[in-house]
Amino acid sequence: MISEDKYNSISSLLKKVTNKVWLVENNNRKENCETELSLYQEGFSIEECFTYKIGSIVFYFACNYSFLKIVERSILAARKKYPELFGTGDAQNIIEALYKESGHKNSIDEYREYLRNYACCYILYETGDILSPNVLRIDLFRILKENKNNPLKMEFIGGFFHILDHFSINGKNLATTNEINDVSEVDDILIYISKAFLKCEGIKEKETKVVVHMENGKPLNCVFFWDEKKEVYFITTFHRVKENAYATPTT
């Protein structure tokens, strides 16, 4: 667990970020005639924050309970109970599997919207005890969109669920595809994302591509974008570099 002083520093930075995200998100929803968010994640308890250290760099992960539960337990539990709903090419099946696993008492539509609107994780880091102002927000997913290859199915756009399409555990994909790219644990993916995010230092572009390597040496392409209005980074995609494909040079 992190120290109380460090927790207070992180909380102070995140409060500014989360408030900005909420205000801009609701303005966007107004413009698009969508229902506004009635609440937002202003802060995280100290129990919802954990760390990962690489040399002198310390990463901080602030994940609310809903996001943490999905990463640590629900995805693998749902895949074990409802394997027929994974690898189907349809994001709606993943939502269905998680809904069944969750025991959620409201409708599946309400459950889906809760995951989309509120489950999230923020990644921060410090070097030499200096906390970087750079903050990455990871939603479970931003939107569901009609699958370009099959209009009867849906796909995740943005967020962690889209990333899970490109990873597997024990040779079984973690979301809608059949792509095999094994990691030991689901939260290993967050570690790889954090390593990639570090390379965005000083870069505030609409699209920033970097490459990091898995423990087995395989390169991973990661794409981030800086949201100028929300003043926070988001992740677009994160996947293995295909063999013989051109890989964006590391920075």
**What one-character-per-residue DSSP string does 78-135 give?**
HHHH-GGGSSSS-HHHHHHHHHHHHT-SS-HHHHHHHHHHH-EEEEEEEETTEE-S--
Distance CA 195, CA 185 (A): 16
* Pair 201, 132: CB distance under 8 Å: yes
**Is 53 a member of any domain?**
yes
Residue 54 within any structural domain of the chain: yes
40-61 pLDDT, tens digit per residue, is 677 788 888 999 999 999 999 9
Confidence band of 248 (pLDDT split at 50, 70, 90): very low
8-15 mean pLDDT: 92
Q: Please give the pLDDT value at position 221.
A: 93
Kindly state the helix (H) or strand (E) to which residue 22 belongs, with its residue range: helix 4-31
Q: Is the residue at 150 inside a domain?
A: yes
Q: Note whether residue 39 is domain-resident.
A: yes
The pTM of this model reads 0.90
Among the residue ranges 36-40, 186-190, 211-215, 235-239, the one predicted with the least confidence is: 36-40
Task: Give a yes or no: residue 246 inside a domain.
Answer: no
Q: Is the pLDDT of residue 206 over 80?
A: yes
- Helix 91-102 / helix 108-118 crossing angle, nearest 10 deg: 100
pLDDT of the residue at 217: 87
Strands 232-240 and 136-139 come out as: parallel
Q: How many domains, the chain?
A: 1
Write down the H helix ranges in 126-233: 159-164, 187-198
Nearest to 92 by CA among 8, 175, 205: 175
Residue 162 per-residue DSSP state: H
Tokens representing residue 240 in the block: 């293995």
Comparing 12-26, 42-56, 66-80, 235-249, which segment has the lowest mean pLDDT? Answer: 235-249
pLDDT at 127 over 60: yes
Q: Residue 240: beta bridge partners?
A: 220
What pLDDT, in 10s, does the model give residues 152-186?
A: 999 999 999 999 999 999 999 999 999 999 999 99
Residue 245 maps to a domain? no
- Which are the contacts of 247, defined by CB distance < 8 A and separation ≥ 6? 211, 219, 221, 241
Say yes or no to pLDDT of 247 above 50. Answer: no
Proportion of the chain above pLDDT 90, given as a percent: 68
Q: Residue range 186-208: average pLDDT?
A: 91
Q: What is the pLDDT of residue 243?
A: 60
Q: Report yes or no: 78 and 161 within 8 Å, Cβ to Cβ.
A: no
Per-residue pLDDT at 171: 95
Quote the domain boundaries for residue 221: 4-240
What is the structure's pLDDT at 251?
41
Within-domain flag for 175: yes
89 occurs within a structural domain: yes
